[in-house]
Structure 1
Amino acid sequence: MTTGLPIEARLDALQAALGSHARALLVAEPGAGKTTRVPLALLEAPWAREGKLLLLEPRRVAARLAAGFMAESLGEKVGERVGYRMRGESRVGPATRLEVVTQGVLTRMLQDDPLLEGVAGVIFDEFHERSLEADLGLALALDAQSVRDDLRLLVMSATLDVEALLGVLGDDTPVIDCPGRSYPVETRYRSLNARDDGAVQQARALLEAMQAQEGDALVILPGVGEIRRLARELAGRAPDLVVMELHGRLPLAAQRRALRPDPDGRRRAVLATAIAESSVTVDGVRLVMDAGHQRVAVFQPRTGLTRLETRRVNRASADQRRGRAGRQGPGLCLRLWAEEQPLIPHGEPEIRQADLAPLAFELARWGIVEPEALAWVTPPPAAALSVARELLRRLGLLDDACHLTELGRAATRWPTHPRLAVMLERAAELGARPLACALVAALEGRDLDDERDLERALQARLKAPDAHRQWQRDARQLARIAGVKLEVTGLAPLGALLALAYPERIAQRLEAPGRFRLASGGLATLPESHPLAHAELLVAAELDGEASGARIFRAAALSAERLEALYPGIREWQPRLEWSEAQGRLVGERVRGLGAVVLERKPLAELPAEAVRAALLEALRRRGLPQDDALIQLRGRLALLRRALGEAWPDWSEAALLDTLDDWLGPHLDGITRLDAVERLPMARFLLDGLDWPLRSRLDALAPMRLAVPSGASHRVDYAPCLEGKPPVLAVKLQECFGWQASPRVADGREAVLLHLLSPARSPLQVTADLASFWASGYPEVRKEMRGRYPKHPWPEDPVTAEATARTKRRG
C-alpha cells in the first residue's frame, strides 16, 4: 500500500532495525503517518508472522479512531485483522493480528501473562505524553523481554528525549528519524482580557481568524465545559457555521464525524480537548486556535488527594497544536496569549505528579518491592510511592513488607483503582455487590461531572439505564466479574461502600453545619443548604484537593454503627494526647474512633510518658523550631559547611530536624509536660553533642563563631543568612579593617564572608564580599563623605597600609 506519507520512506529502515534488534526508537514529526502506517507495515515482518502486534494509544478516542482507519484502509471492518481493546469495550476476533489497546490494558495483559505469549511485538505510540501507564507498561515490557528475547519493542513519538530513552533501552538501540509532512503555518498571538467573558472573546477571535484563513478551524480548549460554552456562543453569532465537538465522552460515530469534512461542503469549527493535539488528524483543518491551557491531574502526597489543575500549555504541546494547521496546506495558528508569555519546554511526566497507588499495586502484583529492580525512564518519586503504599496498607491490600495480602490477591481481578477494587471485593460483607458495581461504574464514568448528588445520579442510572449506555456497559462488565446480576434493591449501603474505598475521607461534623473533620485530620466543607450539611458522619467520594478547608463535591451519609462494623478496631479505646493552644497545655483523653474522627471520648486520669513525649514533639512540629539564636547560628554554620564541603555534614534544616525530633530531642523530654519548657531546652547543645567527633573537632576552625580583625578585636559572625543559601555576615567598623587586603574567608577558604562595614556610629556604609575592590573604587567616595562628618576618626588615603583601630585619632 502506498500513501505518499513521509513515513513510507523510513519503513524499510524500520523493518531492518527490528529485524536485527529487539528494540527501536522512531522519532516521527506530526503528519508523518506513523500511527496508522507503521503497525500495518510491521505485520508483514518475518518476526511478526507467528504472533500479533499490540499498538498502545494513550487515549480511548485515538485507539478507536486509529483501529477504524487501519481496518478501513485494508477494506475490512474493525474486529477482523485490526481490532481494538480497552476497558469495558473490545472489538477483536479470531483473525485479529493487530490490536490497538489503551495503555492500562497492556498492564493487565502483562500481569495475566508475564511472557505475553502469542504477542510478537509491542508498539508504544505518542510516548512523549509520558502517561503513568505508558511508563509502567514500558518498564514491565522491558522486564518481560529479559526472559523473552524474541519480543520486539518499538517506542515512537513526535518528540522524544532520545538520550533518556537510550539510557533505558540501551545505547545500541537503533533510532530512526522521520520528518513530517507540513506546510508553512503563520503564527499570530492575541491575549484575552481576564476581566471579560472568555467564551465571548474566543468566539470573536475565531470568527475574525476564519475570515482571514480558508478551511475548517480546530479549536483546542482545556475541557468539555469550555467547549460547550464556546459552542453556545458560536451558535448565537454564526448560525451557518457547523460547530462540532471532539472529546472522549462522545460516541465513536460522533468522534469519526468530527474528523471528516462536512458532506455538504460547509465550513466547520471543531472544538476539541487535548485529544486533537496528537494521534488523530482532523481533515480539512487550516486554522488552529489554541486557548493555551491544559487540564492536569496533580496528586498531593501530603494530603493524599488529587487536584485537577488548569495550567499553561508547555512549548512542546503548543508546537504540536500549531502543526495541526499545516497538515493539508498553508495554515494559520492563532494563540490566545501574548507572544512574550514564557512557556516551559516540556510537560512533567505523569509519574512525578500522579496518584501512585495504582502503580504501587501493580508493582506488588509483579513481585517488585524495590522499584529500582525495573528500568524506568523516570523513576517513581520515593515520597509519593511511600504515601501510595501506606494507603494500600490501610486498605488491607499490602502487608508491611509491601507484598499482596489475601485481600490484595483477590482484588487483582477488578480492572479499577485499588480503592474501588477494595470496595467491590468487600461489598459482599454488606450484601451489596450489585450496588458496588453500579457505584464504581458511576464514579469512574465520564458523564458524572455535572451531577453532584451521588444518590440522585445513581437512581437516574438505575431507572433509565439505556440513557446511560457507557455506565450500563461498565456496570455490567463489573457484575459479570462478580458473578452477580445488576439488580440493585436499595441505596442504603452507599455510605458504607464509600467508607471501604475512602477510609481517610470519612468525616465528622463539627459544631457548625457543613463543616467536617476528615479522618485524615484535614477540614472539609459543604454548603449549609446541602442535604448532608447536618449529617453527623459522611464519606466524601470527591474533594477538590485543598488540604485546609477542602470542598466536598460528592458524598454519602454514614452511620456510626456501619462504621464500627466495617472497622472493628474502632471499638477499642486508645489514649490520645494533644497540645491545646487554647489551654496552653497537654490534653489527655481516651478515644474510640478512626483517625481524627472520634465517636466517643473519656478523660485520661494519668498521662503515659511515651504519649506525653509524642504529643509534645507533634506540637513542636506544628509550631516549628524556636527562634533561639544559638540554635539558629549552629544550624547556619552547618548549612554553610554542607553547601561548601559536601554531604558529610548533616542536614540541619528546619524540615530535616522536625522530621527527626524523636532521635535528637526525644531523649531529653523526660519529666517535661509543657511546650514552653520544651522550647527553653538547649537544643543547640543537644545537636552539637550528637555531632560526630571528627566533624565537631573541625567545626570551630571551618566556621568560627568570631573572627579577629586587624584592629586586634574579634567580632561575632552571623551565620543566620546561611540558612537561606547566603554567605555569613561580619558587621565591623570600617576603621577596624584597615590593613586587610581581601575579605576574610571561611569553610576552608571556599566561602567569602560578607562584610557590613559600619561608620563610627555603627550605621551601614558598605556591604561587600570583595574588600580589595571596595578599597580601590568604593572607599574614596566613602572617605570624601565621612571625613567631615566624623573628623575625630581616621580616614587615610591608603587604607591597605594604614593602622587599623577601633578608637578615635590619637591626640598629638
Structure 2
Amino acid sequence: MTDVATQLPIEARLPAIRDAMAGHSRALLVAEPGAGKTTRVPLELLDEPWCRQGKLLLLEPRRVAARLAARYMAEQLGESVGETVGYRMRGESRVGPNTRLEVITQGVLTRLLQDDPLLEGVSGIIFDEFHERSLEADLGLALTLDAQQGLRDDLRLLVMSATLEVEALKGVLGASVPVIDCPGRSYPVTTHYRPMNGRDDAARQQATVVREALATQEGDLLVFLPGVGEIRRLVRALSSLGDDVVVLELHGRLPLAQQQQALGRDDQGRHRVVLATAIAESSVTVDGVRVVIDGGFERVPVFQPRLGLTRLATQRLNRASADQRRGRAARQGPGVCYRLWAEEQPLPPHGDPEILQGDLSALAFELARWGVQDAQALDWVTPPPAGPLAAGRALLLGLGLLDDQHRLTALGRGCSRWPCHPRLAVMLERAGERDAMPLACWLAALLESRAGGDARDLAVTLSRLPGRDARGSEAQWYRDAKRLAELAQCGLKVASLAALGELLALAYPERIALFQAPGRFKLAAGNLALLDADHPLAHCEVLVAAELDGQAHGAKVYRGAALSLSRLETLFPETREFRPRLEWSDEEGRLIGEEVRSLGELVLERRPLTALPAEAVREALLAAVRRRGHLALDAKAEQLLARVALLRRTLGDPWPDWSQEALLADMEAWLAPYLEGVRRLDKLDRLPLATILLDRLEWPQRQALGEQAPTHLAVPSGSRIRLDYTGAEPVLAVKLQELFGLAQTPHIAGGRVPVLLHLLSPAGRPLQVTRDLASFWAHGYFEVRKDMRGRYPKHPWPEDPWAAQATARTKHARRQ
C-alpha cells in the first residue's frame, strides 16, 4: 500500500468498518469528500473471512468513475486491471479468472440480479456515492434487499456516501444497522460571489471570472456548467487565452482518453481550465484543481407522464451539490470557489431523487421481470410515485410487454435478453420480422450511446457506419452494435435502410407523426412535433421521432426518420379498418360522429357516420355534464335537493346524498335511463330533474319528505306559504299580519329544525328576521308597529298581536 493511502482519513475507520461487516449483513458508511472510501474500503474487505470465498461488487454511478477506481486500486496492488481488480459496464468488461473485486456501473447490478437472484459467487455488494440517488441505484438496492431477505441472508451489503440521509436508509436497512462516520480530508476554501447579469451573454460573463481567477489564483481551474452546450460556448469565449493555458472539456460524451486527459495534470506544465458537467461533482478527483467556478445550475431529466416525454430541465443548483462542488477546490490544498450567484440567493437544501422525476418504464419492466406486480412489496428508500409508475406500465402495455396484471407477456419475456431500454428491446426482438436485424443493432446502439453527430435524420447518420478502427463516441457505438449483433447471432452489414422508419415505429409508436404543414407534425400521442421548415424531413408524409425536447406545445425533434403511409399500414394493420369515432362538440353542445382509420390521435382517413350509437351518445352527454362540473337545476330541483340535504344533515340515513358531486358520480344509475332520444346537452338540461329524482324514492319516503320538509307551511291567516330551503337554514317569508295569534316559531324535521322567519311589510318588504317569534311579539313588534302604522294605515296593527285575528287583507276588506 502506498504512503498516500495511509494518510487518508478513512484509515482510522477501517477497523470499525471491518467489525460492522463481520457482525452484520448491512452497514452504512458516511464519509465526507476526500476520505478515500471508494478505493480503500473495498480492498480492505477483500481479505475478511466472509469475503474470501467469493467476490466483491463495487457500484459506481458513472463509467469514468468505475474505470478510474478500478485502475487506481489495481495500481495499489501492483497489478493491472483485470487481475484481482476489474471492471464491468455495458459493452465493456475487463475481468479475469482471478478477479475478486469488480467495479461495476449501477445498471449492471440489476442485470446480474435478474439473471441470477442468488448472486452465486458474490459475497458482498458496496453501493458507492449513494447520495446521488440515481434510479438504477434505488432499484438495485430494492432488489438486493429482496434477494438478501429471501435467498441470501449471508450476503453483505455496505452503502457508502459523502452525504447520506441516514434515517431514510435506516427505514429500509433496519433501525439497528451500524453507521460509521468518517470526516473528509479537506482544506479551507475561500468563497467569492460573482452574480451573473441575466441581460448579458452568460459565456462572456463566465469567461471574465475565469480570467480573474487565472490572474489572481494558483492551481488549475474546474468550472461547473449544466451541459455540453454551455461548455462549448465557454470554450469559444476562452479561445483568446495564452499558450500557457489549456482549456479541456469533461463530460460523459467524451471518449475515455479525453476524460483521462482532463482528470490528470498537463504534461507541459500549463494551467488547465477544465469545463465540466456534474460528472466531476463526486466520484472522481480532478488532479491539481485549486479553484472551482460554479455556474450554479444543473440539468436534470424530468419525465412528463401526460406527454410520455422526458425533457432536460435546467434548474438552480441545490445546496448539497453546491457544497460538494466547492469541496473540489480543497482536495489537495487550500482552495478558492467562485459562485456565479448572489450570496443571498436561496438554494433548495437537496435535489430530488431520480425516482421522483424520471421515466419509470424501465423500472416497471424490471419489476415485472422480478415477478413483482405491486411495487410496495419491495423496500424502497423512496417509493416510486404512483402516477409515473402507472404511465410506465401503460407504455409497456402498449408495446405488448406486459398484460393488464403487470406480468410479462411472451414478447416481454423475449425482450428480457436485450441489455437496453424496453422500447429498443421491442425493436430488436421484432426486427427479424422485417429482415432488418443488423440495422436494428446499429440503431439501438446509436440511440443508447447518443453517438453519430448532430444529424436529425437518422437515415443520414446510419448511412455512415463506423468501423472497428473508429475512435471516441463512434468507437463506443461500434462496440455496442457488435455486442447486440453477437446476442442476435447476426452480422453488422446493413443491406438497406428501408426498414428504418418501421423499426423506430416499433419502439416509439406514440411518436409516429403525421404531416400537417412543412416542419409541423401531429404525434400519435396528440401533441405537436416541430422541425425547421427547410429540414430534409420537414415534408415527409409520416415522421417517427426518436428524440424530442419534451415541450408540451410543440416538441422539437432532435432525431427521427421518415416512414411512408403504406409501410405504416403494413406495420399496424388495424389502421386499415374504419372504426366509429365520436367527439363531443362543446360549441354545438352535441355529439358528432364519423368513421375513421386512425392510429392513436392520428386520423389517416375519415367519412361521416350517420347513425350514432345510443350508448355512445349517452356516455358523451354524461361526460359533457361532468366536464362542466354541475347539473343544470331549475327552481323545483334546487329546492328538492336542498330539502333532502336538510333531512340528511338532521336525520341521517336513509336520506340519500343528493349533492351535486354525488349526483354527477352516479348519473349512469339515475339519469341515463331518461336520455332515450336526447342528443343535445341543452335538451338534457331541460329534463324534469326534480321528478326524475323523486321517482327514486319509495312512496313512504316521499310521504315522509312532504311531512318532514314540506314545500309550504300553513299560517294562521289560512294561507300556505312556500318555504325556501336553498340557504343555510329553511326560510319562511310571510307578511307579519298573517302570523297574528301564532305564539311560537314553526318547526320542521320532526320539530328539530326551526324555520327562519322573514317578517314582511304589507308591501312585501323585510321588517324583521327572527327564529324566536314569541320574543318578537313581546319586544320587537311594538317598535315595528310604531314605525309602520302611519305608513300602512289600511292594514291592522293591533296592540295585542297574540289575540288579534291573522289576515292577509286590509281592514276595509275584512269589514266587507
Partner residue of 1:642? Answer: none
2:92 is equivalent to residue 86 of structure 1 = no
**Structure 2 residue 242 is the aligned partner of structure 1 residue 242:** no
Decide whether aligned partners of structure 1 residues 20 and 680 sit closer, same or farther in structure 2, where only a CA change above 3 A counts.
Answer: farther
Q: Is the 8 A contact 1:527 1:533 kept in 2?
A: yes
- The residue type equivalent to 1:27 in the other structure is V
C-alpha distance in 1 between matches for 2:669 and 2:341: 52
Residue 369 of structure 2 corresponds to which residue in structure 1?
365
- The amino acid that maps onto 1:45 is E
Q: Aligned in 2, Cα 1:439/1:628: closer, same or farther, shift over 3 Å?
A: farther
- Please tell me whether residue 390 in structure 1 is matched to residue 394 in structure 2: yes
Q: Structure 2 residue aligned with 1:50, among 44, 49, 53?
A: 53
- The Cα of 1:552 is off from its aligned counterpart by 2.3
Please state if 1:483 is matched with 2:489.
yes
- Provide the residue aligned with 2:607 in structure 1: 602
CA distance in 2, matches of 1:88, 1:245: 24
Aligned to 2:23: 20
TM-superposed CA distance for 1:378, in Å, is 0.8
Letter in 2 for 1:461: L
1:53-87 Cα deviation digits (max 9, x unpaired) = 11111111111111111112222111111111110
Q: Determine if the alignment matches structure 1 residue 460 to structure 2 residue 464.
A: yes
CA distance in 2 between counterparts of 1:302 and 1:310 reads 20
Aligned residue number for residue 515 of structure 2: 509
Closer, same or farther in 2 for the Cα pair 1:541/1:39, shift >3 Å?
same
Given that 2:631 and 2:660 are in contact with CA atoms closer than 8 Å, whether structure 1 keeps it comes out as no
In the TM superposition, residue 676 of structure 1 has moved relative to its aligned partner by 4.2
CA contact (8 A) 1:576 1:611 kept: no
- Separation (CA, whole Å) in 1 of partners of 2:235 and 2:395: 42
Match of 1:569 among 554, 566, 574: 574
- Which residue matches 2:203? 199
SS across alignment from 2:477? helix
Distance between the aligned counterparts of 1:685 and 1:384, measured in 2?
45
Q: 2:502 aligns with which of 496, 507, 515?
A: 496
Once the two structures are superposed, what CA deviation does each residue of 1:384-424 show, in whole Å capped at 9, x if it has no partner? Answer: 11111111111111111111111110000111110010000
Q: Quick one: distance in 2 between partners of 1:552 and 1:115?
A: 43
1:590-646 C-alpha deviation (Å, 9 max, x unpaired): 2222111222322212111222234345556666668999999999xx9xxxxxxxx
2:549 alignment partner in structure 1: 544
Contact 2:87 2:95 in 1 (8 A): yes
Letter in structure 2 aligned against 1:98: L
Query: Superposition pairs for residues 30-429 of structure 1, below 5 Å?
Result: 30-146=33-149, 147-429=151-433
- Could you tell which deviates more after superposition, 531-540 or 150-159? 531-540
Q: Relative to structure 1, is the Cα distance of residues 19 and 811 closer, same or farther in structure 2, using a 3 angstrom cutoff?
A: same
Partner of 2:226: helix, strand, or coil?
A: coil
CA–CA separation in structure 2 for the residues paired with 1:579 and 1:261: 67
Take 2:491 and 2:684, find their aligned partners in 1: how far apart are those partners? 62
CA 669–461 in structure 1, closer or farther in 2 if over 3 Å, else same: farther
CA distance 1:601–1:715, shift in 2 (3 Å): closer
> Contact (CA 8 Å) 2:457, 2:537: kept in 1 or not?
no
Structure 2: gaps of 5 or more residues:
646-655, 698-722, 730-778, 789-816
The C-alpha deviation readout for 1:564-588, integer Å capped at 9, x for no partner, is 2222233333211002356553221
Single out whichever of 673-682 and 306-315 deviates more from structure 2: 673-682
Whole-angstrom distance in 2 between the partners of 1:133 and 1:686: 57
Instruction: Please say which structure displays the higher CA radius of gyration.
Output: 2
CA 1:508–1:9: 2 relative to 1, 3 Å: same
**Per-residue CA distance 1:781-811 (angstroms, 9 max, x = gap):** xxxxxxxxxxxxxxxxxxxxxx999x99986
The change in CA–CA distance for 1:673 and 1:23 in structure 2 (over 3 A counts) is same
Decide whether aligned partners of structure 1 residues 436 and 169 sit closer, same or farther in structure 2, where only a CA change above 3 A counts: same
* In structure 2, C-alpha distance between the alignment counterparts of 1:542 and 1:718, rounded to whole Å: 57
Unaligned runs of 5+ in 1: 639-648, 692-712, 720-802
Letter in 1 for 2:470: D
- Per-residue deviation, 1:658: 9.1
Name the CA shift for 1:384/1:670 in 2 (closer, same or farther; >3 Å): farther
2:22 counterpart letter in structure 1: G
Q: Deviations over 1:171-190 (max 9, x none)?
A: 11000000111111111111
Secondary structure at 1:24 match in 2: strand
Q: Decide whether aligned partners of structure 1 residues 160 and 315 sit closer, same or farther in structure 2, where only a CA change above 3 A counts.
A: same
Determine helix, strand or coil for the equivalent of 2:254: coil
Between the aligned partners of 2:453 and 2:665, the Cα distance in structure 1 is: 39
Give the direction of change, closer, same or farther, for the CA distance of 1:436–1:188 in structure 2 (3 Å limit).
Answer: same
1:355 Cα offset (Å) = 0.7
The CA deviation at 1:717 is 7.1
In 1, Cα distance between equivalents of 2:261 and 2:364: 39
How far off is 1:669 after superposition?
5.0
1:318-355 deviation per Cα after TM superposition (whole angstroms, max 9, x unaligned): 11111111111111111111112111111111111111
Structure 2 CA distance for partners of 1:688 and 1:29, relative to 1, 3 Å: farther
CA distance in 1, matches of 2:331, 2:11: 16
Other structure's SS at 2:81 match: coil
Distance 1:335 1:808 in 2: 77
CA distance in 2, matches of 1:346, 1:717: 50
**Larger deviation: 470-479 or 675-684?**
675-684
The 3 A distance-change label for structure 1 pair 714 and 542 is same
Shift of 1:460: 2.2
Contact 1:578 1:619 in 2 (8 A): no
Partners in 2 of 1:629 and 1:81 — Cα distance?
A: 84
Residues 640-655 of structure 1 correspond to what in structure 2 (within 5 A)? none
Give the CA deviation at 1:666: 6.2
Q: CA deviation at 1:3?
A: 2.4
1:185–1:598 distance in 2 versus 1, CA, 3 Å = same
TM-score (norm 2): 0.79
Whether the 8 Å CA contact 2:28–2:160 is kept in 1: the answer is: yes
The percent identity for this pair of structures is 66
TM-score in terms of structure 1 length? 0.80
